[in-house]
Structure 1
Amino acid sequence: MTIGKTIGKTLAWLIAALLILIAVLVIFILTFDWNRARPYVNEKVSEAIGRPFAIEGDLKVGWRHPVGETGWRAWVLWPRFSAQNITIANPDWTRQKHFATLDEIDFQVKVLPLLAHDIVIPAINLVNPSVDLERLLDGRNNWTFKLKSSAQPSEWKLDLHDIQLNKGMIALSDQQKKIDMQAVVDTLGQPIPIGEALKQQQEASRKSSAEVVGQRGAKQLTAQAKAASGASAASAVAPGAPASGASTTASEAAATAGAGASPAVPASSTGASAGTAVAPRQTAPQYGIGWTVKGTYNRSTVSGSGKLGGVLALQDRSRPFPVQADVKAGDLRIALVGTVTDPAHLAAVDLRLWLQGTSLDHLYDLTGITLPETPPYATEGHLIGTFKQGASVFRYENFTGRVGGSDLNGTLVYTQRPTRPLLEGTLVSNLLQFKDLAPVIGADSNASKKKRGDTARQPSNKALPTEQFKTDRWKAIDANVKFTGRRIIKDPALPITDLYTHLVMTDGVLSMEPLKFGVAGGSLASDIHLDGSTTPLKGRFSTQARHLKLKQLLPTAKTMQSALGEINGDAELSATGNSPAALASTSNGEVKMLVTDGTISLLLMEAAGLNVANVVYEKLFGDHDVQINCAAADFVVTDGVLDSRVFALDTQDAVINVDGKVNMKDESMDLGVHPHTKGFRVFTLRSPLYVKGTFKDPHVGVNAAALAVRGGAMIGLGLINPFAALIPLIAPSNNKPLPCQQLMTAMQAEHPTAPPPGQREKGGKGVKLPAGTPGASDAAPASAPSKKPAAPVNGASLPGPAHAADYKGS
């Protein structure tokens, strides 16, 4: 009994002593002035981060009951720490004194996990935090800390669940990236689901689209988006159906329907991957933090706002982190709604993306992607991507857009590579306005240039575009893109119907093989090779015209509606220069054209020959057709000057020959048109015509000297006998037609050639008219048929002796 009592008393004393110790500790914690510990805390933290740290306000420690705990754990008090007026100093080279300032910080720590060396903080409350980030041109930055290294890893682990903000400020000054911005970050009043944010952003983006491409364009874009969304849904339901075909059909229908559209929510927000239908997650991502930003980027004004998920969402790397942004940088507006996987390391993105601006080439400053200059545009689509070191891949898939008055649909893939990134894709325009292609080569008006921010101006006396190609950007990225314009909207007098091109760019060399237009019931296909890796640019051009119908070449000319012939031709040119005008003025090579087996309006032919009586007769009593035996044109191009070796038209009634030169350096013309009548004509002014002036201001008229001689004879004879005045207007017959078969054989056998860029054509080749033929020149060298085989063009051979049918009319 004595031993038991002794043990009992001992335990009682121990328990009492422990209770007294705890009471004393509690009293000490509650009554101790923790501000006395500030110098020690400041010293230790400064030593750890390698930067002066200071708590300049009160430092307090208190005890509170835990929130959310139940049972006996609810009785275990948690310590609550708070500190006011905290500062972290900047290096001495920065503009601002402090890297970070904080009015107040307070947080609680769970007690029991401390026994396992775990510091569990449910939430930290930050009041008016401010962070200054700076980087100089030499690479020095103030966000890299020299943390104190430890010989052994720490046994303590930090587990932070959430951060609550009260108007945080972040300033960024980056001289390398030319960024100077200020951002305000604050906790939202209540969480916002990603679906609601998507709906709000869609409405805002489509409203801003109307400001860029107009109300009509915005409605058409909405219709395109709805069609693309419906096509995507259809392909998901029926995986075996071709998605591209479905998308095209739906897009074409939407172009005329004009109905509204709702873009698909990014797959990550519902738990579905692209093209896969799976059950949605029970809880969609929500936004907990809002932000606004303003400043400058690359000297362009930047402003915008957005939302982020709460810090709790950052704990699970596999859980998509919601992001939303609506930012305007200069004339560019970018909006996005979606998720980022593992945002600390940027593992992947899944976003609904809207882009709007005055020209697509302005995206280069932001993304480094080389795109052509265009009219104002607006697009929306689905951006998915994965981040990998040196091999990131992004897909802007099934996007829809408006570029000027044209629609644009397709998918683009950006792949990061060790040498240069690669842009691949397939683009389709179902309704393409031809004028929207003009900015690509600088052929739009000065007003249009000014609107898209281009300082270059087209001289008023120049027809060929003088705007420089931006070849310095061609080395920034490689490209492999196919573009189809299915229906071209243009001036009724322009006989172009559709467009296709395959654009390839590799290490500064741009090729379009082919650039093919549907023209007048036939095709005009060119292989274009522009080497932008040299200065000046070197260009090679090969063009083939096939089956161009005479009737459709001038669709608005009534006198051509009964024409049945076809035009076929070839051209080979090389040039140097950094603009279309410069390339034209330095071009060298050959151009050949042939028209055979057709009919053309007699009215047009007689008007060209100035057969006055026949023109008046046809105007009064109608028109009929005349058979074309053949027409041939053969030009040699030297330093931008086109010199006609053969330019003649043979019909059943007349031979018309054209000679002279066209100078593309000063855009001048000096041509003579010589009609030679085969039959007997009355009232025919058989004097040569002239075509002079410039491309912008041409002058066409009758050779005054020859006409004066004939007019003087008419007046002199008229004084003797009024009827005798008709004699000079009577054209004697000239029965020497063009040797059509010989011309055809020579034109088919001799394919045009061009020297290397920057060199002149050596020797004289071409078709020679036999002596005595109207328009023949004895000085013109005859060409021997070339034995060089015809080169294939888009699967078809160039016209040669074995392909004479290509030159036959319909």
Structure 2
Amino acid sequence: MVATSQPSLSTPKSIWPRLAVAIGVLLAVLVLVLLFFPWDLLRMPLNRYVSEKTGRQFEITRHLDVRPGWRGATIVFDGVDFANPPWAREPYLVRAKRAEFEIRLWPLLSGQVVIPRLAMVSPTMGLQMEEDGRRTWALGKDTGDTSTVPTIGLLQVDGGGVNFLAEHLGVDIHADFSYDTTRGDLPLDFRVKGKYQRQPLTAEGRTGNVLQLTSAGQPPFPLEIKAAAGKTQLSAQGTVAALADLDGIDAQFQVKGQTLGDLYPLLGIALPQTSPYSLDGKLGKRGKLWEVKDMQGRLGLSDIAGDMRFDQAPKTPRLEGTLRSKVMDMDDLGPLIGLPPTERSAKAIEGVEAPPTIAQVKRARGEPARKVLPTATLDFERLRAMNAEVQYTADKIRNVRDVPLDRGSVRVKLLDSVLTLDPLDLGVANGKVAGAIRIDARQDPADIRASLDIRNMQINRLIPKVDTLKTSFGKLDGRINLSGRGKSVASWLGGASGDVAAVTGHGEFSNLLLEFAGLDGGEVIKFILRGDKTVTLRCAAVAFDVNRGVAQGRGLVFDTTDTVFNATGQANFANETMRFVIDQKPKDMSILSVRTPLIVGGTFGSPTFGVEPGPLAARGLTALALGAISPLLSLAATFESGPGVDADCKAVLAEASKPTTAEAAKGAAKATGARQPQN
């Protein structure tokens, strides 16, 4: 048998080495082609391609070079002009002597432009954003399409300038850059001028020559800045991780200005109007959360310290924190209720232009010099801008003048446009005023309610001038329950309804003061010759029904062992006028008495004091008639037999215990609801 030969079969192992060699050769050839390819031949085609795709003129003016890499490529434009869309103010988006940038290749397949690094020599840039979303740096024909906006990591410049315009945001700024290696770690100097939030802006500072626009795993870059926007001045030193959204901030800051309220248009934080301020502390930002730690400084004449957090992540931003003053000056409270600062507060912070004082504002408005209630419109719109919860405590209060405040604390809560001060706790005259105030800014005018209790206040501290007459009063208790609607403190009180009452029991005070008040000449002479004595206070009550801004006295009694005083009358908050008639009835006999009802009238800012002319004239005519018979008989007209009787103290206190009119009772009940959770 003859054996037949079989054809030989190539094994796979004999194919793969040759295939690998072929692929290697092809890759080597490709690399050599990429390395030595005359890329400048593509300059003109690239100019036409980019111009057609973007709808605006693009030109590499001198040379094009490409350096391929494993993940992307480094592209160098020797001279570049890239025009802005026709609607922009500036003619060029970028115009630079040289631009070098890295570009990722794989994201290009999905239409994304990712540039980890962009370096430019002497660029001029024209950035503009419109309210409808258009922006000049969107690379497609549709400049409102955010998917065509490139992602840029690091930006490096050695000089040049940038213009940025966003009219709908009130932003129009120009920045100039200069680079100098002799400046050490901060070689890039910048100067900014223009408008921010429609307020004049100037800024200057230094940074590293590489700016990180977006977080890309790089270390934060150093930054120093001094800026002034409107009346607000800022200086900061620290690091920033991402410049595009100001993320990864760690800095020490100092800020000062005329009022914290000016930060609302600048930063969107709805802080109250205040006296001029100066604050410093540590500023940090991670994502949407801003934090201020170890803050300390001054608000006018008052010191302040604490920590604050501002979270922009929720649909409605939220502010929270704890603040404390060792000493709070009463002059600094005026701006909180719509009053300009006093001259002392306005000039308290060095380096801050003093704002108009309360006296200057009134002169400019032509307001009466003695207008008392604040008429400035409160900016309730800001209450709709954010939510907040802040605890504030003042260990000591000074410069109290007419109201002896000792200390104070309040928790401020702002939720869904409703501001509550609850609990509000003030130390007054060794006693306290405690309660709540609620402002509902969802309505226009705002619904305002105040419910306050008065406990154990020493009357001699409430009336310090009486202390010179060796007065030793008892203690005062009372309440204020008012509700109404308004746009200012004055307009609210001018239409408010509710209940105001204060009562006191036993105490002692100067008899000399009492006789002066009762126009008892004989008793005054006696006490001057023999020395002043004290008299016992049996009880006293001051109670008002407040009906739509008119406080009508329902129980005005002051009863002592010497004299009982009964008063009638009213005070009008709308026009700040008052008229009260005080009738005094002595409980002892006296000569040289010209007792007649006292009249307290005029305005809150300029009260008048007088006597009822009728009874006084009658006594005068009687004295003249009797004097014609005998001079001694004329004294009979000033003789007081003492018809006064003790007041029924239980009835007095009962009358002061609750409102007597339906409107006042309704307003008081509504006010007490300020202390309860609101739906």
State the TM-score, normalizing by the size of structure 2.
Answer: 0.81
> What secondary structure does 1:706 align onto?
helix
Question: Which residue of structure 2 aligns with residue 52 of structure 1?
Answer: 57
Question: Which residue of structure 1 aligns with residue 204 of structure 2?
Answer: 305
- Which of 339, 349, 365 aligns to 2:239? It is 339
For residues 754 and 553 of structure 1, what CA distance do their matches in structure 2 show? 29
The superposition leaves residues 427-475 of structure 1 with CA deviations (integer Å, 9 ceiling, x where unpaired) of: 1111111011001112336986636999995822521110111111111
- Which of 383, 388, 399 aligns to 2:283? It is 383
For residues 652 and 231 of structure 2, what CA distance do their matches in structure 1 show? 57
Question: Which residue of structure 1 aligns with residue 48 of structure 2?
Answer: 43
8 Å CA contact 2:498, 2:665 repeated in 1: no
Mapping of 1:2-13 within 5 angstroms? none
Mapping of 1:41-120 within 5 angstroms? 41-46=46-51, 51-56=56-61, 58-59=62-63, 84-105=78-99
Instruction: Classify 1:190/1:143 alpha carbon distance in 2 versus 1 (closer, same or farther; 3 Å).
Output: same
For residues 614 and 399 of structure 2, what CA distance do their matches in structure 1 show? 42
By how many angstroms is 1:333 displaced? Answer: 1.2
Question: Which residue of structure 1 aligns with residue 328 of structure 2?
Answer: 432
Unaligned runs of 5+ in 2: 1-28, 68-72, 104-114, 143-151, 347-354
For residues 95 and 401 of structure 2, what CA distance do their matches in structure 1 show? 68
- Which of 602, 612, 616 aligns to 1:693? It is 602
Q: Does 1:330 align with 2:335?
A: no
Mapping of 1:537-548 within 5 angstroms? 537-548=446-457
Question: Which residue of structure 1 aligns with residue 190 of structure 2?
Answer: 291
Question: Which residue of structure 1 aligns with residue 349 of structure 2?
Answer: none
What letter corresponds to residue 127 of structure 2 in structure 1? Answer: L
Instruction: Classify 1:588/1:475 alpha carbon distance in 2 versus 1 (closer, same or farther; 3 Å).
Output: same
> What secondary structure does 1:576 align onto?
strand
By how many angstroms is 1:374 displaced? Answer: 0.8
Instruction: Classify 1:673/1:743 alpha carbon distance in 2 versus 1 (closer, same or farther; 3 Å).
Output: closer
By how many angstroms is 1:754 displaced? Answer: 9.4
- Which of 124, 146, 149 aligns to 1:130? It is 124
Question: Which residue of structure 1 aligns with residue 318 of structure 2?
Answer: 422
Question: Which residue of structure 2 aligns with residue 396 of structure 1?
Answer: 292
> What secondary structure does 1:686 align onto?
coil
Instruction: Classify 1:454/1:418 alpha carbon distance in 2 versus 1 (closer, same or farther; 3 Å).
Output: farther
Mapping of 1:625-636 within 5 angstroms? 625-636=534-545
> What secondary structure does 2:506 align onto?
strand
> What secondary structure does 1:662 align onto?
strand
The superposition leaves residues 386-424 of structure 1 with CA deviations (integer Å, 9 ceiling, x where unpaired) of: 10xxxx222111100111111111111112343311111
Instruction: Classify 1:135/1:579 alpha carbon distance in 2 versus 1 (closer, same or farther; 3 Å).
Output: same
By how many angstroms is 1:313 displaced? Answer: 7.2
What letter corresponds to residue 294 of structure 1 in structure 2? Answer: K
Instruction: Classify 1:515/1:162 alpha carbon distance in 2 versus 1 (closer, same or farther; 3 Å).
Output: closer
Question: Which residue of structure 1 aligns with residue 566 of structure 2?
Answer: 657
For residues 554 and 596 of structure 1, what CA distance do their matches in structure 2 show? 16
The superposition leaves residues 362-403 of structure 1 with CA deviations (integer Å, 9 ceiling, x where unpaired) of: 10001111111111111000112210xxxx222111100111
Mapping of 1:448-527 within 5 angstroms? 450=356, 457=365, 459-460=367-368, 462-527=371-436
Mapping of 1:159-308 within 5 angstroms? 165-190=157-182, 192=184, 286-308=185-207
The superposition leaves residues 162-191 of structure 1 with CA deviations (integer Å, 9 ceiling, x where unpaired) of: 876332211011122121111112323235
CA RMSD of aligned residues (A): 3.7
8 Å CA contact 2:161, 2:174 repeated in 1: yes
For residues 590 and 600 of structure 2, what CA distance do their matches in structure 1 show? 24
> What secondary structure does 2:181 align onto?
strand
Instruction: Classify 1:330/1:451 alpha carbon distance in 2 versus 1 (closer, same or farther; 3 Å).
Output: farther
The superposition leaves residues 63-97 of structure 1 with CA deviations (integer Å, 9 ceiling, x where unpaired) of: 9xxxxxxxxxxxxxxx9997554200111222222
By how many angstroms is 1:498 displaced? Answer: 1.4
> What secondary structure does 2:168 align onto?
coil
> What secondary structure does 1:287 align onto?
coil
For residues 648 and 124 of structure 1, what CA distance do their matches in structure 2 show? 83
By how many angstroms is 1:296 displaced? Answer: 0.8
Unaligned runs of 5+ in 1: 1-20, 64-78, 110-120, 149-159, 193-285, 766-787, 796-810
8 Å CA contact 1:478, 1:505 repeated in 2: yes
8 Å CA contact 2:555, 2:655 repeated in 1: no
Q: Identity over the aligned pairs, expressed in percent? A: 30
By how many angstroms is 1:350 displaced? Answer: 1.4
For residues 354 and 95 of structure 1, what CA distance do their matches in structure 2 show? 35
For residues 210 and 179 of structure 2, what CA distance do their matches in structure 1 show? 11
Question: Which residue of structure 2 aligns with residue 141 of structure 1?
Answer: 135
By how many angstroms is 1:532 displaced? Answer: 1.3
For residues 659 and 674 of structure 2, what CA distance do their matches in structure 1 show? 14
Instruction: Classify 1:753/1:427 alpha carbon distance in 2 versus 1 (closer, same or farther; 3 Å).
Output: farther
By how many angstroms is 1:751 displaced? Answer: 4.6
For residues 86 and 164 of structure 1, what CA distance do their matches in structure 2 show? 16
State the TM-score, normalizing by the size of structure 1.
Answer: 0.68
8 Å CA contact 2:332, 2:341 repeated in 1: no
What letter corresponds to residue 467 of structure 1 in structure 2? Answer: A
8 Å CA contact 2:437, 2:674 repeated in 1: no
Q: Does 1:616 align with 2:515?
A: no
> What secondary structure does 1:761 align onto?
helix
The superposition leaves residues 307-350 of structure 1 with CA deviations (integer Å, 9 ceiling, x where unpaired) of: 23332878962522222221111101122221223556655221
Question: Which residue of structure 2 aligns with residue 365 of structure 1?
Answer: 265
> What secondary structure does 2:169 align onto?
coil
8 Å CA contact 2:117, 2:153 repeated in 1: yes
> What secondary structure does 1:426 align onto?
strand
> What secondary structure does 2:356 align onto?
helix
What letter corresponds to residue 575 of structure 1 in structure 2? Answer: G
For residues 515 and 200 of structure 2, what CA distance do their matches in structure 1 show? 64
Report how many aligned residue pairs link the two structures. Answer: 606
Instruction: Classify 1:83/1:416 alpha carbon distance in 2 versus 1 (closer, same or farther; 3 Å).
Output: closer
For residues 340 and 130 of structure 1, what CA distance do their matches in structure 2 show? 24
8 Å CA contact 1:559, 1:604 repeated in 2: no
Question: Which residue of structure 2 aligns with residue 571 of structure 1?
Answer: 480
Instruction: Classify 1:792/1:137 alpha carbon distance in 2 versus 1 (closer, same or farther; 3 Å).
Output: closer
Instruction: Classify 1:416/1:96 alpha carbon distance in 2 versus 1 (closer, same or farther; 3 Å).
Output: closer
By how many angstroms is 1:727 displaced? Answer: 0.9
Instruction: Classify 1:474/1:125 alpha carbon distance in 2 versus 1 (closer, same or farther; 3 Å).
Output: closer
Instruction: Classify 1:370/1:625 alpha carbon distance in 2 versus 1 (closer, same or farther; 3 Å).
Output: same
8 Å CA contact 1:684, 1:730 repeated in 2: yes
For residues 335 and 705 of structure 1, what CA distance do their matches in structure 2 show? 70
By how many angstroms is 1:492 displaced? Answer: 4.6
- Which of 500, 506, 513 aligns to 1:597? It is 506
Instruction: Classify 1:62/1:751 alpha carbon distance in 2 versus 1 (closer, same or farther; 3 Å).
Output: closer
By how many angstroms is 1:50 displaced? Answer: 6.1
8 Å CA contact 1:689, 1:700 repeated in 2: yes
Question: Which residue of structure 2 aligns with residue 707 of structure 1?
Answer: 616
> What secondary structure does 1:190 align onto?
helix
Instruction: Classify 1:468/1:458 alpha carbon distance in 2 versus 1 (closer, same or farther; 3 Å).
Output: farther
Question: Which residue of structure 2 aligns with residue 441 of structure 1?
Answer: 337
